[in-house]
């Protein structure tokens, strides 16, 4: 099905984005990356403004709410990515499956069949196994503080609510409308934040960070694919959320080959259990 392929593309690009986020943070602060990343992404969708008009005020309000959730989620996720191994974060990010599934069944009334229940069980087991990673020998640079785990999980919860809103909003707006206004509100929130907090941004140096440019481009492509999938009537939030997590393999492999992180074999086992759950759930 087309929507499954679109969500799979989103998942793979999402995994690549997590890796690039960590690379971009090696030369810029969290807020510098967030502000410039968001601004560049908005400039990339600006030419599509002609297709973004005609949105009713009530939907603009809810798009703004979605943007605010992502505004907070991105701050949390960037802080977590900056403070923990990318391979660990990539698997921990899979916990959004649990929250999105809960929201999909309660709010949208989606019914979990036997494959989805079995798949969710595998996903839960993989996350429980992952927690054991924190008790394995780690390099000094890989020590994981509990507060950053909590921050990462909070980001997952916010993303789950955002995913639910995508499905609901796409019943009334187009993918072009949602992406344009979503990005515009994000720019407003981040610019407003740095003005209120008087955060200093090294604009010239940050714009020279090529990783941020790549990050912005992948973000636009991935989100357009996801919004298109959400707009397809046969797509389901619970199944989509499971497919999205295919990107965890990208972060684990990057942890080994790019960042030289430890315990990759154990993390691959955890991810394998979770991916098995994903495959079972979409059968």
Domain spans of the chain, in order of start: 2-282
pLDDT for 270 equals 79
pLDDT for 140 equals 46
Q: Which residues of the chain have pLDDT under 50?
A: 138-141
CA distances (Å), 68 to each of 95, 118, 150, 183, in order?
21, 34, 19, 11
- Per residue in 41-55, pLDDT (tens digit) is 999 999 989 999 999
- Per residue in 195-204, pLDDT (tens digit) is 999 999 999 9
pLDDT for 214 equals 96
Are 141 and 198 contacting, i.e. CB atoms less than 8 angstroms apart?
no
pLDDT for 142 equals 55
CA 27 distance to own-chain centroid? 22
pLDDT for 272 equals 82
Compute the Cα dihedral for 96, 102, 104, 108 and give only its sign. negative
pLDDT for 73 equals 96
C-alpha span between 78 and 31 (Å, rounded): 9
C-alpha span between 42 and 222 (Å, rounded): 14
Residue with tokens 């927690």: 131
Look at residues 283, 275, 236, 282 and name the one whose alpha carbon lies nearest to residue 12: 275
* C-beta atoms surrounding 10 within 10 Å: 24
DSSP structural state of residue 113: -
C-alpha span between 178 and 175 (Å, rounded): 5
* C-beta atoms surrounding 211 within 10 Å: 19
pLDDT for 139 equals 46
């Amino acid at each position: 099905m087309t929507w499954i392929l679109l969500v799979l593309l989103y998942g793979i690009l999402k995994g690549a984005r997590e890796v690039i986020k960590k690379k971009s943070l090696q030369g810029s602060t969290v807020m510098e990356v967030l502000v410039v990343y968001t601004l560049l992404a908005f400039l990339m969708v600006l030419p599509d403004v002609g297709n973004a008009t005609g949105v009713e005020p009530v939907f603009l309000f809810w798009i703004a709410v979605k943007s605010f959730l992502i505004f907070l989620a991105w701050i949390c996720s960037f802080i977590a990515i900056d403070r923990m191994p990318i391979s660990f974060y990539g698997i921990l990010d899979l916990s959004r499956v649990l929250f999105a599934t809960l929201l999909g069944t309660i709010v949208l009334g989606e019914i979990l069949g036997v494959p989805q229940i079995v798949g969710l069980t595998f996903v839960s087991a993989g996350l429980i196994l992952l927690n054991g990673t924190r008790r394995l020998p780690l390099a000094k640079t890989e020590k994981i503080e509990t507060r950053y785990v909590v921050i990462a999980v909070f980001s997952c919860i916010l993303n789950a609510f955002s995913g639910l809103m995508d499905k609901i909003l796409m019943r009334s707006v187009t993918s072009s409308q949602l992406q344009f206004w979503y990005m515009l509100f994000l720019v407003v929130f981040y610019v407003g934040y740095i003005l209120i907090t008087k955060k200093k941004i090294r604009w010239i140096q940050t714009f020279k960070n090529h990783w941020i440019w790549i990050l912005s481009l992948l973000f636009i492509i991935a989100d357009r694919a996801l919004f298109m999938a959400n707009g397809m009537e046969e797509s389901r939030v619970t199944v989509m959320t499971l497919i999205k997590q295919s990107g965890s393999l990208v972060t684990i492999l990057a942890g080994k080959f790019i960042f030289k992180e430890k315990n990759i074999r154990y993390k691959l086992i955890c991810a394998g259990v979770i991916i098995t759950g994903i495959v079972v759930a979409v059968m």
